[in-house]
Structure 1
Amino acid sequence: MQQRSLGATGLRVSRLGLGTMTWGRDTDEHEARDQLVSFVEAGGTLVDTAAAYADGHSEELLGSLIGDVVPRDDVVLATKAGLGLHKGRLRVDTSRGRLLSTLDASLRRLGVDHVDLWQVHTWHDGVPLEETLSALDLAVSSGRASYVGISNYSGWQSAQAATWQRAVPGRTVLASTQVEYSLLNRGIEHEVLPAAEATGLGVLAWSPLGRGVLTGKYRTGTPADSRAATSQFSSFVEAYLDERSASVVEAVVRAADGLDLSPLQVALAWVRDRPGVTAPVVGARTAAQLASALESEDVVLPAEITAALDDVSAD
């Protein structure tokens, strides 16, 4: 698998990332093991998790496999902090103390002394930005993180954070931003992508398959084993089960049929090769689902197909 530099840094990552949001909840240890092994064997390195995923169980499961199933040095280990459950409710807290204590807990669950990329999971108006960013500086200076980034920041938020870190020598330059991007959600093209390019941020695209909708699995209904059939993710997926999304999906299916590919491979290759994107991050529930994504490595979409998809999915 090809490797790319993450933003204006020396960190190299595979151009496809493995997401683990469902690990420890919908994806058990056997499927997780098979996913990780097949991903690394295919040349994948970037593995992304978060303290909030499955309330920490994603990190625990991943940590049980690193060093045992795959060597620690074979993965670029990324996690996030700033979101979490508190008394059963989702809480956003990007204060310096909370971020650093969350990082320490993540390191314990992962069974490592540092992560390769540590990201602030989301923006929070209730905490001064300079305080949030100071936690990133401390994480790097203490050796707990090698590189740092942000996630789910808007364009102006990304530009402000990246510029702040570059303004004074000694601060840790941001490596990346992780945001949603797919043929069904191209909103980041207006401000986030230009901000990332101007400030040297690599872009990690989460949900590059439109929350699973771009695979075509929902064209005739909701499969019983799909995310949309669960109470936890039904509203998450249903946001893209509208008429506009359906027309985009049909265009992807037609392109896939003409190229003898799967809709997943077409949708994933489109995101992967967009200007400014370092890597899409794919979260598969099963190893079989991941295998199809890994087969997209050699896919290069013809220019006329890319242009047609650009046109049908334009905002």
Structure 2
Amino acid sequence: MEQRTVGTSGLRVSQLGLGTLTWGRDTGGDEAAAQLSAFVDAGGTLVDSSPAYGDGAAQRILAELLGDVVPRRDVIVSTSSGVGPAPEPGAARHVDCSRRALLGQLDETLLELGTDHVDVWQVATWDPHTPVDEVAATLDHAVASGRARYVGVRGYLGWQLATAASAASAPLTATQVEYSLLARGVEEELVPAARHHGLGVFAAVPLAGGVLTGKYRDGIPADSRGSDELLAASVRRYLDAPSARVVDALVTAADGLGTSPLAVALAWVRDRPGVASAVVGARDLAQLTGVLDAATVELPPAIAAALDDVSA
């Protein structure tokens, strides 16, 4: 799998990242082990986690796998602080990006993972209750103290990213944000801001919750995210007429190339300007295998341009 430089830093990550959002919820420990092993065997390095995923279960599973399933040195661990597990199912997540909360959560992550550092540490969201200078100073301290090799942010708007990047002494390296054929709003300000400040983009949710695989063209499968009470809203927002036109174009392109809509959708976002890695989660090894097979798909310029037009 191709390795790419993240922004203007020296950090190199695999062009596809392994997301762990489903670990501990839809994906058990044995299945997670199989995924991680297959991912690394395919040349993948970037593994995305968070103490908020699966109410903390995803990070606990990753901790069990590092060293036993794959050597710690073989993966780039990206995680975040600032958002805690919801106090109860369906409740809003707890956001606290104060210096105390960020470093406290980072130290808990290091202890749980059994490591003295994470490779990429990101502030999980914009916190209007914490001064940006405090957040920036905390990121600087994490690098200076050796807890994090590189730092960045997640889910920021363009102006928020620019403000944080200007305030930080240690250069921000990566910004993680939802980006797909059905979520292109980040191209207006966020992606240009990232490029201006030298950050690479980690494209999250690149398959729009599975909608871009084409699985929802004829309804909502019983075993899909769209039928899951907790996840349905994130999928159903894309089940409209404009999205259907994009999916139809994907299917046409995939048929012409002899591949899958999943592969075409991933190749499109993977090769957008500024994208260092597209982070994809999979429920099981079969799904991940399809993702890894898509790593070598290259889109002809004419097809990429057609997808640009239909999704604009």
TM-score range, shorter chain: over 0.9
Residue aligned with 2:27, SS = coil
Distance 2:86 2:277 in 1: 32
CA distance in structure 2 between the aligned counterparts of 1:85 and 1:37, rounded to whole angstroms: 27
Root-mean-square deviation (CA), in Å? 0.9
Aligned sequence identity (%): 58
- Residue of structure 2 in register with 1:46 after alignment: 46
Picking from 256, 259, 263, the partner of 1:258 is 256
Q: Deviations over 1:55-79 (max 9, x none)?
A: 1111110110010000011000010
Structure 2 counterpart SS, 1:68: coil
User: C-alpha separation between the residues in 2 aligned to 1:263 and 1:62?
Assistant: 30
C-alpha change, 1:154 and 1:42, in structure 2 (3 Å) is same
How far apart are the structure 2 equivalents of 1:79 and 1:86?
Answer: 18
Moved more, 28-37 or 132-141: 132-141
**1:136 alignment partner in structure 2:** 139
User: Which residue is equivalent to 2:159?
Assistant: 156
Q: Residue 82 of structure 2 contacts residue 101 of structure 2 at CA under 8 Å; is this kept in 1?
A: yes
1:35 equivalent in alignment to 2:35 = yes
Query: Which residue number corresponds to residue 110 of structure 1?
Result: 113
Structure-2 residue corresponding to 1:70: 70
Q: Which amino acid counterpart does residue 110 of structure 1 have in structure 2?
A: L
Q: What are the Cα deviations for residues 79-124 of structure 1, in whole angstroms up to 9, with x where unaligned?
A: 0111113633411110000000011111122221110000001101
Does the 8 Å CA contact 1:17/1:46 hold for their aligned counterparts?
yes
Alignment pair present for 1:23 and 2:26:
no
Q: Which runs of 5+ in 2 are unaligned?
A: none
User: Equivalent residue of 1:118, what SS?
Assistant: strand
Mapped partners of 1:86, 1:128: distance in 2: 23
**Counterparts of 1:193 and 1:85 in 2: how far apart (Å)?**
28
CA distance in 2, matches of 1:43, 1:33: 16
Q: Secondary structure at the match of 1:212?
A: helix
User: How far apart, CA to CA, are the structure 2 residues paired with 1:133 and 1:239?
Assistant: 34
The DSSP-based 3-state class of the residue aligned with 1:125 is coil
Length, aligned pairs only: 309
Runs (4+) of structure 1 exceeding 6 A deviation are none
Residue 299 of structure 1 aligns with which residue? 297
Once the two structures are TM-superposed, the CA of residue 30 in structure 1 deviates from its matched residue by 1.4
**Structure 1 gaps, min length 5:** 166-170
Q: Secondary structure at the match of 2:24?
A: coil
- 1:44 is paired with a residue whose SS is coil
2:79 match: 79
Equivalent in 96, 99, 102 of residue 102 of structure 2: 99
- Aligned position for 1:209: 207
Give the corresponding residue for 1:168: none
Check whether the contact 2:270–2:278 (CA below 8 A) recurs between aligned residues. Answer: yes
Partners of 1:6 and 1:67 lie apart in 2 by 25
Of 232, 247, 255, the residue aligned with 2:245 is: 247
Q: Which residue of 2 aligns with 1:122?
A: 125
Match runs of 1:199-238 below 5 Å:
199-238=197-236
SS at match of 1:211: helix
Distance 1:229 1:5 in 2: 38
Give the TM-score normalised by the residue count of structure 2. 0.97
- Write the deviation string for residues 224-283 of structure 1: whole angstroms up to 9, x where unpaired: 111111111011111111111111001001100110000000000000001111111001
Contact 1:56–1:109 (8 Å) recurs in 2: no
Instruction: Please tell me the residue identity of whatever aligns with 1:72.
Output: R
Query: Given that residues 220 and 227 in structure 2 are in contact (C-alpha distance below 8 angstroms), is that contact kept between their aligned partners in structure 1?
Result: yes
